[in-house]
Structure 1
Amino acid sequence: MTTENPGSVRAVLATVPGIPCEGEAPVFAEPWQAQAFAMALSLQQRGVFTWNEWAEELGLQIKSAVAEGDPDDGTTYYRHWLATLERLISRKGIASSETLQRYYQAWDHAADRTPHGQTIELTPADFG
């Protein structure tokens, strides 16, 4: 275990295995990956879960995905990160799986109606 601030990025890198890094910093292939990382970091800093709890859940998510045929070559790492985040948010009562699904569908609708290259903005009509 690290002696760093338990909410620091360095502490996350020391506790949670498999984070793609360049040197001592995490790297992200797409903006949503950095956002998912930041959301998990923020929730941990607020005491929603510990990094040990996160690492255990992430490990279970990856093992389950590999058993279902995931190539486990690093390309799907942040998809597992996001699935773990959604599962913990639901389990901790922050948002139900139904609420998460409702927002997923709304974002999907918003993305479909947004021209390529434009910022996706969620509107009440996206929930219809």
Structure 2
Amino acid sequence: MTHAAAQTTEVIGLPGLPRDDDGPVFAEPWQAQAFAMALALHQRGLFTWREWAATLADEITRAQAAGDPDNGERYYQHWLATLERLIAEKGVASSETLHRTRDAWDRAADRTPHGAPIVLQPGDFAG
């Protein structure tokens, strides 16, 4: 097994990852994209799987403490929160930059007709 295949197997084996008989499942395209980003950032050495799993577990625990029913429906929101947290902790981008970009994306998406590509414009960041 190649190193990349072994890493992918490690990710697929993460506890709590929604899956069916064929492997991980995604209800929305953004979930697959968040999954792919985590895999790519790990492969680039930003974090170890042990670090990822510990941070994800902490995000889930925080959400449960805040009343998350932990029924699996919000799993990828925890995945995304873990990505954002590690990116900020590692100094890749600040939490403020992540929030500003998310808000800009929301503004761009709001004005974009369904099915058309979303294009960020400088005004989207003015908020």
Structure 1 position 126, deviation (Å): 1.1
Deviations 1:2-43 (A, max 9, x none): x873663211122x2111112242110000000000000000
Q: Of 30, 33, 38, which aligns to 1:35?
A: 33
Equivalents in 2 of 1:13, 1:53: separation in Å? 16
How big is the alpha-carbon RMSD for the aligned residues of Structure 1 and Structure 2?
A: 1.6
| Superposition pairs of residues 1-128 of structure 1, within 5 angstroms | 5=3, 8-14=7-13, 16-128=14-126
TM-score normalised per structure 2 = 0.91
Q: How many residues align?
A: 125
**Residue identity matched to 1:38:** A
Deviations 1:57-110 (A, max 9, x none): 000100110111101001000000000000000000000011101101100110
Equivalents in 2 of 1:99, 1:72: separation in Å? 29
Per the alignment, in what secondary structure is the counterpart of residue 3 of structure 2? coil
TM-score normalised per structure 1 = 0.91
Structure 1: any 5+ residue segments left out of the alignment?
A: none
